[in-house]
Amino acid sequence: MSAISLGQATILGIVEGVTEFLPISSTGHLKITEGLMGIPVDDPSVVGFSAVIQVGAIAAVLLYFFKDIVRIVTAWGRGLADKEERYHHDYKFAWWIIFATIPIVVVGLAAKPLIEGPLASLWVVAGSLIVGSGVMWVADQMGRHKRGEDDTSFKDAMLVGCSQILALLFPGFSRSGATMSTALLLDLDRVAATRLSFFLGIPALTGAGVYELKDAVGAGVGLAPLVVGTAVSFIVAYASIAWLLKYVARHSFNAFVVYRVIVGVLLLGLLGTGVLSA
């Protein structure tokens, strides 16, 4: 019997699609939802399922930014073949994404037992939601929002890429929240920060999904729930991406900050009263 039913997979796919790219923590929301449905959040197959359905959200990014990705990959290919093409920003940007992904891969492999064990606790999620909110608020207030996407540098990409580790180790901190906050502190504008977060998420989340696939299927989650959860995640994530880019062009991140604090406090209350098990 599958550890996750088709109905639960559908709900989790919706949660993943809505929250993956919003700076409110998809992992945290998935764990909260799993806890409310009585699904053990630290079960290896459940952890694997959560990673695999992220691929649906990544597929949505690939489709939404298809023209940009083709442009960057094409520039990278031309640069490998022609030295003169290596001065093009897109060629350099492709390498920056590759190098900026290495730290999270190394830490993810080295800290896997901690990530799937003690750090999977809902207490960690609650604390990370609240602490991450403070970081996001400070970044949005301090950032001067004066640099666009074409102004990004190797240093920017590496610092933003390394910030993904915070979300990896502390579910609830939010990968999007960590990367966007770091980009804002580097004075990128909100749209540039959001787009950089998207591009950095493609290799990191795709790699995690592929790596965890064997655990999800082999340890107790059937193929059907994985397919359903991933498909739903893709559809919902596409709509979420389109909405977020329009939103950040005109608004601050304050609404996300307030929402995260509310969810974190409510989660602490549910854990403290025994309604949810950590």
Q: In the chain, what are the domain boundaries? A: 6-273
b vs e for 46-65, b when ≥16 Cβ sit within 10 Å of the residue's Cβ?
A: bbbbbbbbbbbbbbbbeebb
Tokens 């909110």 belong to 133
Per-residue pLDDT in tens (0 to 9) along the chain, 278 residues: 567 889 999 999 999 999 989 999 888 898 889 888 988 777 777 777 888 888 899 899 999 999 999 999 999 999 999 999 999 999 999 999 999 999 999 998 898 888 878 888 889 999 999 999 999 999 999 998 899 988 999 999 999 999 999 988 998 898 999 999 999 999 999 999 999 999 998 898 888 777 766 666 655 677 888 899 999 999 999 999 999 999 999 999 999 999 999 999 999 998 999 888 77
pTM of the model: 0.87
b vs e for 149-176, b when ≥16 Cβ sit within 10 Å of the residue's Cβ?
A: beebeeebbebbbbbbbbbbbbbbbbbb
